[in-house]
Structure 1
Amino acid sequence: MATSSSHIDLSLIDFDVLGAWMDAHDLPRGRFEQVQPVPGGTQNVMVRFERGGVPYVLRRPPLHVRAKSNEVLRREARVLAALDGTDVPAPRLVAAQTEQEPVFYLMEPVDGFNPTLGLPEPHASDPAIRQRMGLEAAVALAALGRVSPAVLPGFGRPEGFLERQVPRWMGELESYGRLDGYPGPEIPRLRETAAWLERHTPAAFTPGIMHGDYHLANLMFSREGPWVAAIVDWEMCTIGDPLLDLGWLVATLPSAREQLPELPAPEELIACYAELSERDLSAVDWYVVMACFKLGIVLEGTHARACAGKAPKDIGDLLHQTTLDLFARAQTWISR
């Protein structure tokens, strides 16, 4: 077996056991070669290798398994299997081991790049390509929104999904108060934003598959042009309202512009999505505000942990400022 980078502890992977499992699934045999970590994620371990001349990416839980690590990977494997053969650009699942723990699965490597880690040519020198990348993010998202949730029976709880959002995330924010040293959420217009969201919750929606964390860093783009090669990191996937993914894409657009200043304006992204979707976008402002609200509360959790000495203070301070920016952004959309 070839050597690998020291950034990952390969003792996490028993290659003898993995090889026997692959043999039982009639996958190509041989030595494990070109073993190397796949950078970019912190929640799970990903390792790329070749066996029998075929490349794979293995995804498994981290060394210190969290309470839901194995269940998350079971869900991811199920989602990728369901999306195979659709128009959604996603990694292709090869095989999954879900009956015992640790759960893991093999997928085909994606020939693409993460734009938040740098741009290759021709993207780096062509502003038109960079501008189109934003629209292609909307195109890929619309493709996901067109997939029937029937491909994932029993997945998620779409009934009452929108009505649960504000209580769910206000409850999450209140839970941070259990951390010693956290003074509480000093977020201007927090409760006013929550109240506005509850007053303007759309009366109905068409359930669909949601990615749950749809932004530039979770997309890989083609090396040949502006197209999305794959949507990655499906651990937040559920059956809910896909328009919240669109809101998430728009809410995170200012941060995305730090890497790609040429990205389209929010209205252009929304119009591109609308052309490819039959969903009712009349309440799109609500979805953007909800995305700002939810993401701001999620990031405030790291600030709370930093106040309690459980995360670096500089990171906590940075994310708290991002939370404030998101709530200010929400106010802009509320007042439109």
Structure 2
Amino acid sequence: MNPPGLDLGRLRAHLDARRPGLVAGELSADVVEGGRSNLTYVVGDGRSRWVVRRPPLGHVLPTAHDMSREFRVISGLRDTAVPVPEAVLLCEDADVVGAPFYVMSFVEGTPYRTADQLRELGPERTRAMADALVGTLVDLHAVDPAAVGLGDFGRPEGFLERQLRRWKKQLDASRSRELPGVEELHERLAAAVPVSGEPSIVHGDYRLDNVLVDQNDKISAVLDWEMSTLGDPLTDLALLVAYAERDKVSLPFVSNASSAPGYPGTDEVVARYAELSGRDVSQLNWYVSFAFFKLAVILEGIYYRFSKGQTVGAGFEGVGAGVAPLVAHGNEILKEEK
């Protein structure tokens, strides 16, 4: 039986043509729950398993769901210290299954999404996972992009300024009400853009539930590379910090794993990253404030589409109320002295 968005017969025919002998039997597939962007399937033939990724159903902007981008970055990182699935095949022909897609190896591991999951493991194992998460981020930011064929994967020059313009433009496109403090937040961010350090490969949405953890509490694979690029690595660290402060604001769709006993506090996470990476984190407040600005824009976009009847689903009705606290927290962080 075909899952939504994936014709297994056409997929099998394409794999047989492009990778003869890879598939041994009839394919079956399950949709991986939890994602709100690209669709992910676990596909198997009774002997082996793979993961297939494709854009969401319906009309989407190609630049927002670039399969070749994800495929390229995991291909480049294969022989580095960053654990990624093996890149098996990229298909950019939308006629095969209805959209471009790629296939990667299946990696054993657990994406820990909730504090309750970690609480069952105990504080020592939770701490080990958090340390591994930070260590793997440091490993990613230490990769020389040119050495792995990713020297042209993005434009590091002017990265922060472009990011700020991009998110402001996205905010303006989904404005349907007054948002107290958001213009002030944007203006203050624009007036104090830091000078970036050495650029690196940036994941774009790095957090515990976007990695797989093995039975030894090590990271077995980093997943969800759709927002990856070359840029300022502190944007990854700042988003990790912002997600960890979810209890201070309203982030209904973000994992609460960082509130589990044993998970290190923000200061410890930042200090560990700084120690392992050797990077200057003295201006991290700007980056964290910018992270809250981005999260506010994302939630406002969801609220806008929900209010127009363009988005349906459990929990969306309360998203709008979460925007103002994000804006307020972003402004408050900028006022803090390091």
TM-score range, shorter chain: 0.7 to 0.9
Q: Which amino acid aligns with 2:122?
A: D
Q: Which amino acid aligns with 2:213?
A: F
Measure how far apart 1:84 and its partner are: 0.5
Q: Which amino acid aligns with 1:208?
A: S
In 1, the alpha carbon distance for the partners of 2:239 and 2:121 equals: 28
Q: Residue 166 and residue 326 in structure 1: after superposition, are their counterparts in 2 closer, same or farther (change >3 A)? A: same
In the other structure, the counterpart of 1:267 is: 267
Q: 1:157 aligns with which of 133, 155, 158?
A: 155
List alignment gaps of at least 5 residues for structure 2.
247-253
Measure how far apart 1:123 and its partner are: 6.4
Q: 2:127 aligns with which of 121, 127, 131?
A: 131
In the other structure, the counterpart of 1:306 is: 306
> Does residue 216 of structure 1 match 2:214?
no
Q: Which amino acid aligns with 2:237?
A: L
> Does residue 36 of structure 1 match 2:44?
no
Segment drifting more, 159-168 vs 262-271: 159-168
Q: Contact 2:115 / 2:260 at 8 angstroms: preserved in 1? A: no
Q: Contact 1:29 / 1:52 at 8 angstroms: preserved in 2? A: no
In 2, the alpha carbon distance for the partners of 1:23 and 1:169 equals: 42
Q: Residue 61 and residue 170 in structure 1: after superposition, are their counterparts in 2 closer, same or farther (change >3 A)? A: closer
Q: 1:243 aligns with which of 229, 234, 237?
A: 234
Segment drifting more, 50-59 vs 200-209: 50-59
In the other structure, the counterpart of 2:222 is: 231
Secondary structure in 2 aligned to 1:111?
coil
Q: Residue 149 and residue 210 in structure 1: after superposition, are their counterparts in 2 closer, same or farther (change >3 A)? A: same
Q: 2:50 aligns with which of 42, 49, 56?
A: 56
Secondary structure in 2 aligned to 1:250?
helix
Q: Residue 17 and residue 300 in structure 1: after superposition, are their counterparts in 2 closer, same or farther (change >3 A)? A: closer
In 2, the alpha carbon distance for the partners of 1:17 and 1:313 equals: 29
> Does residue 204 of structure 1 match 2:201?
no
In 2, the alpha carbon distance for the partners of 1:119 and 1:176 equals: 35
Q: Residue 326 and residue 86 in structure 1: after superposition, are their counterparts in 2 closer, same or farther (change >3 A)? A: same
In the other structure, the counterpart of 1:147 is: 143
Q: Contact 1:307 / 1:313 at 8 angstroms: preserved in 2? A: no
Q: Contact 2:141 / 2:200 at 8 angstroms: preserved in 1? A: yes
Secondary structure in 1 aligned to 2:282?
coil
Q: Which amino acid aligns with 1:253?
A: A
TM-superposition CA deviations, 1:87-125 (whole Å, max 9, x none): 1122221222236653222111121112116866x8624
List alignment gaps of at least 5 residues for structure 1.
none
Q: Residue 42 and residue 316 in structure 1: after superposition, are their counterparts in 2 closer, same or farther (change >3 A)? A: closer
Q: Residue 107 and residue 185 in structure 1: after superposition, are their counterparts in 2 closer, same or farther (change >3 A)? A: farther
1:271-290 paired onto structure 2 within 5 Å? 271-290=271-290
Q: Which amino acid aligns with 1:251?
A: A
In the other structure, the counterpart of 1:67 is: 61
Measure how far apart 1:332 and its partner are: 3.6
In 2, the alpha carbon distance for the partners of 1:153 and 1:27 equals: 34
In 2, the alpha carbon distance for the partners of 1:308 and 1:100 equals: 29
In 2, the alpha carbon distance for the partners of 1:71 and 1:316 equals: 22
Q: Which amino acid aligns with 1:105?
A: Y
Q: Which amino acid aligns with 1:126?
A: G
In 1, the alpha carbon distance for the partners of 2:222 and 2:77 equals: 11
Measure how far apart 1:281 and its partner are: 1.5
- What TM-score, normalized to structure 1? 0.85
Number of residues of Structure 1 aligned to a counterpart in Structure 2:
322
Q: Which amino acid aligns with 2:103?
A: L
Secondary structure in 1 aligned to 2:66?
helix
Measure how far apart 1:70 and its partner are: 8.9
Q: Contact 2:65 / 2:226 at 8 angstroms: preserved in 1? A: no
Q: Contact 1:123 / 1:225 at 8 angstroms: preserved in 2? A: no
Measure how far apart 1:291 and its partner are: 0.7
Q: 1:9 aligns with which of 4, 10, 16?
A: 4
Segment drifting more, 240-249 vs 91-100: 91-100
RMSD, aligned α-carbons = 2.7
Measure how far apart 1:257 and its partner are: 7.2
Q: Which amino acid aligns with 1:238?
A: T
Q: Residue 314 and residue 123 in structure 1: after superposition, are their counterparts in 2 closer, same or farther (change >3 A)? A: closer
- What TM-score, normalized to structure 2? 0.85
Q: Which amino acid aligns with 1:112?
A: G
Q: Which amino acid aligns with 2:202?
A: M
Measure how far apart 1:20 and its partner are: 4.6
Secondary structure in 2 aligned to 1:56?
strand
Secondary structure in 2 aligned to 1:49?
strand
Segment drifting more, 90-99 vs 202-211: 90-99
